[in-house]
């Protein structure tokens, strides 16, 4: 008779991922949690609200650049294709800067497309493809909306003593948008390509 070997004790399956977890949210949207950054909750909350608006508009402009990068046509295709992607990348970096500033203030940054779509004041372009001058005009309009709101938000942050938000809006956002406006605008100047008038 063979000696029976006792089965090894079942080891707990610690390698199994614990998925489908759910729990209460830890911070409600719109609630600003206090961080030790020597700013009042009221000032932080005001800056968070402004930054979430300009974040939604910047995400929309960023995505509009990608749309136009894919859908551009005509003799200036390659030049505009590259320019639109460059501006997309720069706006993408700005999106991260704004979102992380919101978190640094104790707020919650908007993130998902549906929430962005509900918040942005930049007009939604059609799904259809449009001519380059229309693409360029739409981009310029979005830039101008953002510049207008950002200037008043920057002044408000300055008056409230939130220097970090003021600096982000002026040094990062306003300067980048103004420069991109220049690059886009020059494509709408009607000058002869080969023979002078
Ligand atoms: Fe691409």
User: CA-CA distance, 194 to 197, in Å (whole number)?
Assistant: 10
Distance 65 CA to ligand 1 centre (A): 11
Q: Bin 129: left if φ > 0, else alpha if -120 < ψ < 50, else beta.
A: beta
| Angle, CA 161 vertex, CA 158 and CA 164 arms, to 5° | 75
If you average pLDDT over every residue of the chain, what do you get?
A: 95
Distance 16 CA to ligand 1 centre (A): 39
Please report which confidence band the pLDDT of residue 10 belongs to, taking 50, 70 and 90 as the band edges.
confident
Distance 149 CA to ligand 1 centre (A): 30
Distance 11 CA to ligand 1 centre (A): 50
Percent above pLDDT 70 for the chain: 96
Distance 136 CA to ligand 1 centre (A): 18
Distance 178 CA to ligand 1 centre (A): 24
pLDDT, tens digit, 9 for 90 and up, residues 134-143: 999 999 999 9
Other Cβ atoms closer than 10 A to 29: 11
pLDDT at 113 over 70: yes
User: CA-CA distance, 163 to 61, in Å (whole number)?
Assistant: 25
pLDDT at 58: 99
Distance 66 CA to ligand 1 centre (A): 8
Please report which confidence band the pLDDT of residue 172 belongs to, taking 50, 70 and 90 as the band edges.
very high
Query: What pTM value is reported for the model?
Result: 0.92
Distance 27 CA to ligand 1 centre (A): 37
Distance 31 CA to ligand 1 centre (A): 38
């Amino acid at each position: 008779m063979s000696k029976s070997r006792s089965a090894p004790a079942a080891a707990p399956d610690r390698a199994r991922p614990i998925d489908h977890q759910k729990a209460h949210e830890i911070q409600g949207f719109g609630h600003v949690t206090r961080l030790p950054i020597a700013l009042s909750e009221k000032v932080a909350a005001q800056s968070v609200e402004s930054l979430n608006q300009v974040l939604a508009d910047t995400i929309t402009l960023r995505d509009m650049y990608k749309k136009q990068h894919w859908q551009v046509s005509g003799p200036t295709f390659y030049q505009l294709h590259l320019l639109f992607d460059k501006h997309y990348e720069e706006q993408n970096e700005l999106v991260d800067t704004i979102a992380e500033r919101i978190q640094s203030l104790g707020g919650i940054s908007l993130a998902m497309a549906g929430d962005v779509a509900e918040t942005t004041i930049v007009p939604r372009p059609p799904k259809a493809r449009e001519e380059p001058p229309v693409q360029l005009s739409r981009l310029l309009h979005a830039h101008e909306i953002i510049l207008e709101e950002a200037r008043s938000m920057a002044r408000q942050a300055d008056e409230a003593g939130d220097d970090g938000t003021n600096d982000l809006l002026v040094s990062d956002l306003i300067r980048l948008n103004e420069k991109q406006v220049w690059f886009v605008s020059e494509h709408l100047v009607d000058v002869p390509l080969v023979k002078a008038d």
